Structures are given as C-alpha cells and as structure tokens.
Structure 1
Amino acid sequence: MHFPGRGNRSAPVRAVDGVSFDVAAGETLGLVGESGCGKSTTGRMIVRLLEPTSGTIAYEGRDISRLNRRELRPVRKDLQMVFQDPHSSLNPRQTVARVIADPLLAHGSSESAARARAVELMDLVGLIPEHIDRYPHEFSGGQAQRIGIARALALDPKLVVADEPVSALDVSVQAQIVNLMERLQKELGLAYLFIAHDLSVVKRVCDRVAVMYLGRVVEIGAKERVYAAPAHPYTQALLSAVPLPDPAAERARERITLLGDPPSPASPPPGCAFHPRCARAAAICRVEAPILRGVARGEEREVACHFPGAG
C-alpha cells in the first residue's frame, strides 16, 4: 500500500511494502510493531477498507483484492473488523439496536429479524439486552467496545481483524475484553488477526506472531519460539521493553536500546530498513535487503535478517 506524497514531486509513502502471511481457520495471528509500521493499514486492506496498490488478498483460495462492490458483498459477511477507539467507531446518532442491526439490514434482513439478532448479540457479548435502545455515549469505553464486537459478529464472520481493540481501554477493562474475545473464538470458531503494540496482550491471546518494521514483516512464527528466542534484533529490542512481573528479574535483565528514530516510509534506507538502528549491522545490511527465511530446519519460523539470532 503506497500513499501519494505531498506535492507533485514528493515520493510515495510506502506504508506496506511486500507483506505476506496467512491466517488459518480458528487461529489468532498477532501483528505487532511500533506505531506507523503499517499494522493498521494491513488490517484495513484485508477487509478492503483500503484498496491495495498491488499484490493479492486471497480468501479461501480466491483473490478478493480486485472484486468490485457487487462481487465483494457476499465476501464481506466473512471478514469483519473491530476498531481501536470504540466510541469513534459507533454512530452517535444511532441507537445500539441500529448500530448492531445495520450489517444485517444491509444484507437483506427484515427490521424485526435484525432487532432480534441484535438482542441476542447484546447478551452474547455480556451487555444487558434491555439497554439496546440507548445511544453509544451512554456506555463506558469497555461497553462500547463490546458493542463494536457485537456488530462485527452480526453476520457470523470467519475472520475478525481486531485493530488494537484494547489499547484505548483501562487495564482492568482490557482483561475483560481479551477474555471475551477468547470465549467468542472458542464458541464461534473465529479466526483473529490481532493487531497490537502491547506484547504482553499478544502473548496472552495469539498462536503465532508477525513482527512488522517499516511496512515489512521481519519475523513470523509460533508465539512460544518468538518470545523465548527472538531471532531478529528488532524483535529482541521490542521484547526487552516488556516489563517483567518479577522486580528482581526486571532489575537484572539487560535492556536493548535502539539507535535513533524509525526512518520515514517515504524515503526508506537502502538495504535492510532496520540497519541504521541495528547495533550489529554489517556492510551487506546497507546494500542488500534480507528476505524472510527459515530460522532452523523443522521450525516453522521465518526471519528477515542477514545475521539472525546473533547476540
């Protein structure tokens, strides 16, 4: 996904540049990285809220990246999204009943059937069905996010793209929403693309983790392996910033401090995009961009680094 730059001579902003991954039925893939690395843009392209500049989006073996609105309509039932800010994603002029029923009405349900389904969904996500005729501003942030989840589930999707669904909530409420999403996944067989910058939350909810840096995936693999033995220096730095619950262990461990600021996606550096901030960058890193390769034989993990796993 390349956005046009400002002015006629400005370089395009390469928000997402060569990302490739898959999400299996019923699994949760975590997509992590710094703000501005392209996580949310990736999620919005998957559900076709943004039109990709190039490449394909394959759903159940079918390329949906070039479908027109009529062709895309039946596919939209299976691909839904939960947004980061619950209140800004809900229409303040509509009652909760209408907010949740809108997807159903758009796909041909009657008013009565859509309302009945909205009542069911209110109960499913832990809200009081009798409050269905209230407006979004009458709910707390956590309750509003439950409404957003109910709306996403209205059409019985198979994949839900959750774009930082708990980052705008208090810590205690975050735990409630995470528990809710885990329960719904088990009950409904959902697959999640869970976009986040909080690695503690990702560790709790995800099966696999993909780490993004400057529009590219630099490491992807099973959660246990990525957290236990990160292979990319950027992943190592991210994990070193996660607080440990044990004060003694927190004081004893070594923090990895990255050099400088992330480069601009409008003018990425040559070679490996991470090399200006990498303490172990070599000459090859400055001229040759690494591709995703397997870390070890028999291990389902890939890393884009010329010197993976080095200390």
Structure 2
Amino acid sequence: MTAAPLLSVRDLSMTFRTRRGPVKAVDGIGFDLAEGETLGLVGESGCGKSTTGRLIVRLLEPTGGTVSYEGRDISHLRQRELKPLRRRLQMVFQDPHSSLNPRQTVARIIADPLLVQGSPAAEARKRAAELMELVGLIPEHLDRYPHEFSGGQAQRIGIARALATGPRLVIADEPVSALDVSVQAQIVNLMERLQRELGLAYLFIAHDLSVVKRVCARVAVMYLGRIVEIGPKELVYTAPAHPYTSALLSAVPLPDPAAERTRKRITLLGDPPSPAAPPPGCTFHPRCPKAQQRCRTEAPVLRADDGGRQVACHFPEVPGALTLVTRTASP
C-alpha cells in the first residue's frame, strides 16, 4: 500500500488583478511530494515558481485549486487554523539579507517562530543557540545583527529560522541563487545533511538546473504558469520529453570543454509571452521548433509514460505510449 503524500497540490491557480486586467501567474498545476523527498521546481524567471511556493505556505491566497498538507486541505484555512500547521511547514527565501529583519538580533530572528507559537523566551533562546550550531554558526554570535554576517552566513540563519519549529516540509525558494558559487556548494551540502538528519522534505525552487540535478530526486518544469514536464531526475535530464525542457538543459554548461564546444545548443525564438495575454493552444508554441497546427489551437494536458514521467506536449521528444493523467481531489 502506497503511503499518502505529505503534500498534494491539485489544479492550483493564482490570478492577480492589475490595471491592465487579470494576470494568471499559476494556471492549474498539480503534483505530490512524499515525506523525506526533494522535488525540484524549475523554469525561466516569471514562470510562476516562487508564486507556487508562496501559495503552498499560504503567504498568498489561491484563486483556485487545493493544497493538502498531511492529508488536510489548507487552501482556505483561516490564520487561526493555520497557526499550528505552520510549525510543520516553513520557507527559506531567496535573498538572505532582505528576508531577515535588520533591526532584530539573530537570537530574536530565529526565536520568533517559537515565540509566536507560545514558547517561553528562555526556551526559545536556548533553541536558537542549538540551531545556530546545527547550521554551522557560532552560538556566541546570537546577539549580532544580520548586516554583520556574509551572504552565506545570513542564509544559514534563514535556514535555522525555518527549522526552529521542527517542520516536516521546507519550501526553499531559490535558496542559493543570490550566493557565490563556492558558498552555494556549502549551503547545498548543509541542506542535504539536514535532510538526512531531520527527515525533511524539500520543494526546491530554482532556475539553476545543475544545482537541481544535485539535490533533487524528481524535477517539475514550469512554463508560463503550467507544469509541462515532471518525472524522475534521471529521465528528465537524460531524455527530456518536452521541447522546452530540452532547451533548458542545452543551456547548462558542461564540465568537459571539448563536449561543450561540440554540443548543439537549442535557441528558442523570441521572449516568453506575457501571462497577461498568453497565446492560445499550447502556450509554448510561438517559441517551439516542433510546433504544428494542433499546438496553436489545442492546449496539451499532462500524460504519463511507463517510466513515471508526465509531459504536456502533443509531440513529445521521447516516443512511446502516453496515458492521460487523471487526478482526484485530496480528502
């Protein structure tokens, strides 16, 4: 019997109302995340990755669909009902310095989630010192301020704050993109160690596919608010089925200079369409080298292959039988 997923997203949508009209940032996406698993969410800037993360932790109110956490629909819970759930569902943000209050000490920043949940101040400070040590910082620096730390150290503080309440799931929104390459490796190593030690599940949002390949077991590719391909890392990276996935992977630098010089780079036509005025049919068709008439009029739906991959494409790169993915709402 298969265990129920820790996180289940179904037909999740987010439409922002602007002066120029509605903008659909997230357009009916769905996926599951198992306990202790890392799922990568990748795509170009503006495709809806970060909005998806914020919807899951309820920093934004979804306009459609459901988010179920630990078997419970949390999509429209009131803040009072969400409060106990937030202990087990936390987020790490992209820019470590802008996500930390510059007027608060590190001790207060890390202890805040515990204080909100009702922990005594002395107990919260003791836990903050333990977390500083857990993420590789010196507990004696608790009374310093965020500006006194480097970018990598500040991100460790952000991770410590996310772990304060003992979550089971952490939404990591581009946690290394604002850091130097050498520091990125340190933060990735830290997150992997914490996952092993604490049994964490991650939704790892990123645009760097080499980092995602390192840390994730499965990968979901987003384009203009929709998931166009999702599946095991080995399949997605070695035999991408969607033309957009192929183009993204062709832009990842190879460590071998000779292979880098000889490989074929896929160049997409034009810029991504505006989510305020998406093209009809498949939203990728204006830039797709394989687009046909059907792509211009009929939006593809996710279909599954025999390897556990799902792809939304009328003419996928990998041939084989595809079956329609049917989803039922979580209880």
| Fold similarity call, TM over 0.5 | yes
Q: Within the alignment, does 1:126 sit opposite 2:148 as a pair?
A: no
Question: 1:101, 1:154 within 8 Å by CA — same for their partners in 2?
Answer: yes
Q: Is the 8 A contact 2:106 2:146 kept in 1?
A: yes
* Consecutive unaligned residues in structure 1, runs of 5 or more: none
Paired residue for 1:245?
Answer: 255
Q: Secondary structure at the match of 1:217?
A: strand
Return closer, same or farther for 1:185/1:44 CA change in 2, 3 Å cut-off.
same
Which of 83, 87, 107 does residue 117 from structure 2 map onto?
107
In structure 2, C-alpha distance between the alignment counterparts of 1:182 and 1:188, rounded to whole Å: 10
| 2:16 aligned with 1:3 | yes
- Aligned-partner SS, 1:21: strand
Pairing of 1:174-189 with structure 2 (within 5 A)? 174-189=184-199
Instruction: Tell me how far apart the structure 1 counterparts of residues 94 and 309 of structure 2 sit (CA, whole Å).
Output: 28
Question: Does residue 78 in structure 1 map to residue 78 in structure 2?
Answer: no
**Hey, what does 1:28 align to over in structure 2?**
38
What stretches of structure 2 of length at least 5 have no aligned partner?
A: 1-13, 320-331
Residue pair 1:87, 1:137 contacting (<8 A) in 2 also? yes
Could you tell me how far apart the structure 1 residues matched to 2:289 and 2:234 are? 25
Q: AA paired with 1:180?
A: L
Is it true that 1:289 corresponds to 2:299 in the alignment?
yes
Q: Is 2:245 the counterpart of 1:235?
A: yes
**Contact 1:209-1:226 at 8 Å conserved across structures:** yes
What is the match of residue 235 of structure 2? Answer: 225
Q: How far did residue 11 of structure 1 move?
A: 2.5
Quote the residue 1:69 is aligned against. Answer: 79
Residues 127-206 of structure 1 correspond to what in structure 2 (within 5 A)? Answer: 127-206=137-216
1:307 matches 2:315: yes
Q: Alpha-carbon deviations, 1:149-190, whole Å to 9, x = none?
A: 000000000000000000000000000000000000000000
- Matches of 2:118 and 2:72, distance apart in 1: 24
- Deviation readout 1:41-96 (Å, 9 max, x if unpaired): 00000000000011100112211001101111111111100000000000000000
2: CA distance, partners of 1:176 / 1:248: 28
Among the aligned pairs, what percent are the same residue?
A: 79
| Residue in structure 2 matched with residue 209 of structure 1 by the alignment | 219
Q: Any conservation in 2 of the 1:5–1:266 contact (CA below 8 Å)?
A: no
Large movers: runs of 4+ above 2 Å: none
CA contact (8 A) 2:97 2:147 kept: yes
SS in 2 for 1:270: coil
Q: Secondary structure at the match of 2:81?
A: helix
Question: Does the residue aligned with 2:172 lie in a helix, a strand or coil?
Answer: strand
Q: What amino acid is the match of 2:268?
A: L
Q: Following the alignment from structure 2 to structure 1, what is the Cα–Cα distance between the partners of residues 122 and 61? A: 34
Residue in structure 1 matched with residue 266 of structure 2 by the alignment = 256
> TM-score under structure 2 normalisation?
0.92
In the TM superposition, what is the alpha-carbon distance from 1:233 to its structure 2 partner?
0.2
- Residues 203-257 of structure 1 show CA distances to partners (whole Å, capped at 9, x for unaligned) of 0000000000000000000001100000000000000000000011001110000
**Structure 1 residue 310 displacement after superposition:** 5.8
Q: Secondary structure at the match of 1:55?
A: strand
User: Aligned letter for 2:180?
Assistant: D
Q: Secondary structure at 1:67's aligned position in 2?
A: coil
Are 2:239 and 2:318, in contact at CA under 8 Å, matched by a contact in 1?
no
Residue number in structure 1 paired with 2:4: none
Task: Count residues with an aligned counterpart.
Answer: 306
SS across alignment from 1:218: strand
Residue 18 (structure 1) aligned to one of 28, 38, 42: 28
| TM-score with structure 1 setting the length | 0.97
Conservation of the 8 A alpha-carbon contact between 2:268 and 2:288 = yes
Larger strand percent: 2
SS in 2 for 1:122: helix
Distance 1:153 1:146 in 2: 11
